[in-house]
Amino acid sequence: MWAIKKLNFDLTNAGEVWKLQLHELVEWRMNAYENAKLYKERTKKWHDDRISKRTFFVGKLKSRWSGPFRIKTILPHGQVELTNEDGNNVFKVNGQRIKPYYGGNVE
């Protein structure tokens, strides 16, 4: 009791100080969330600005898998040589990548 009197310790005043400290902690936490959000936005903008713009040519994006193909040769280790219907374009693929063609329209 003498320590409370000596330090002039008021319980109601101490409770209010404690509440203010809690509110201050909540405010610091909200500021930290806001700063983290701003940091992420700035780093995303910085990263997006440094991504180089690329242009692709139509030939590079053209699919080699457009149309039915005929099997020319089956090679060892699952490799297959395919040709198109004209027979002038020959390329090798893994045999697991090909699918049977039963006829009909090919898109």
For residue range 62-81, what is the model confidence (pLDDT) as tens digits?
666 667 888 899 998 999 99
Task: With respect to residue 102, please indicate whether it lies within any of the assigned structural domains.
Answer: no
Task: With respect to residue 103, please indicate whether it lies within any of the assigned structural domains.
Answer: no
Residue 6 amino acid letter: K
CA–CA gap between residue 4 and residue 2 (Å, rounded) = 5
- Coarse DSSP helix, strand, coil percentages of the chain, rounded to the nearest 5 percent: 50, 15, 35
11 and 43 in a single domain? The answer is yes
36 and 66 in a single domain? The answer is no
CA–CA gap between residue 40 and residue 29 (Å, rounded) = 17
Check residue 65 and give its pLDDT: 67
Domain that holds residue 29: 2-49
**Domain tally, the chain:** 2
Task: With respect to residue 22, please indicate whether it lies within any of the assigned structural domains.
Answer: yes
Residue 106 has pLDDT above 60, yes or no: no
CA distances from 65 to 27, 94, 98 (A): 60, 13, 10
**pTM for the predicted model, two decimal places:** 0.39
CA distances from 55 to 45, 60, 62, 64 (A): 21, 11, 14, 20
Residue 93 has pLDDT above 80, yes or no: yes
